[in-house]
Structures are given as C-alpha cells and as structure tokens.
Copies of this chain bind each other. A is one copy, B any other.
C-alpha cells in the first residue's frame, strides 16, 4: 500500500488528537488524556515548540470508511544526555490497527531517526509498556535495547499536588 510520511502541520492536529485517543484506548488509559486539538495547535506550532510531529498519509482510495487519510503519527522532541549530548525522545508512535503490518510504523520511526541524526543526535529514547509484547518485540527487532532491563533505569514522575509542594519547598 502506498503511503507518505511528512512533517505535521497545524492542520494535522485534529487527526493527531483523534489518534492520541485511539492509542490511549489501546493502552486502556483513555481517562488519562487531557490533551486536546487546541493544546496541540498551541504547543507544537509556536516559536520554541514543545514537540514535533510527523504523520503517515494514504491516498484517496485507501481512506478509512470514516474518511481518514492520516493513519499514523509520531511525536518527538529534542532532549539531552549529559553523557552523550544531543538526543531525541519519541513520545508516541502509532498506526491505526487496519493499517498495521504494512511498514508504516517502521517508516515513521525511520523518519524520526533520520531527523535526529540530521540534528546531531546520537540517541533515540522512548518508553514501552512491559505488557505490550508486540511493540517491545518490534523495537528489539530494530536494534533497540531495554534500558530498564539491561541497566536498571526506572522512569520516575512527580505531578499534581506533589509537584506543587516540591515547587514550594520548605527551606
């Protein structure tokens, strides 16, 4: 199946917001999603954007019955490793279920890698859920490694009341 990969524009935010919800549904965390189309428009297309996106698009004849031509996306942003320097983080990689197995996910990830290398990045980091075996196997087959399993890194987070309290300090 023909498809094209290109940088996302403001006009893609509606479809990206839709697919973020589809991905969250797959991950069984639909209630966690607060990000809206408007947030994406505001945060991704300002002078110092908080993220960059790419979308996978299929031609007219392959559209879904609902009329969707944008069938996959990846969100990424630049990060920094204090050991290795410039790096990239892939926040999401998603392909709609009926379009899987056609190389779209791999093409999206390949594009992210290309963009990262072009910007001088030497690492591509991302997270995967341990129960998501198909994704984990795909990533491992692409030469990625599991930093948590191999080096013991745990992802940590501070949010909500704890973040507010941390910011207030008590010194």
Give the interface of A toward B (CB within 8 A). Answer: 20, 23-24, 29, 32-35, 39, 43-44, 48, 50-51, 75, 77-86, 89, 91-92, 103, 106-107, 109-110, 113-114, 116-117, 122-131, 136, 139, 142-149, 151-169, 171
Of B29, B122, B152, B166, which contacts A124 at CB under 8 A?
B166
B154 touches A148 (CB 8 A): yes
Query: Known contacts A20-B82, A82-B75, A147-B156: does B110 contact A169 (CB below 8 Å)?
Result: yes
How far is A143 from B167 in the complex, measured between Cα atoms in Å?
12
Other than the given A34-B84, A139-B156, A147-B157, 10 more pairs (CB < 8 A) read: A34-B85, A35-B85, A80-B91, A110-B169, A117-B163, A123-B158, A125-B155, A142-B158, A146-B156, A148-B154
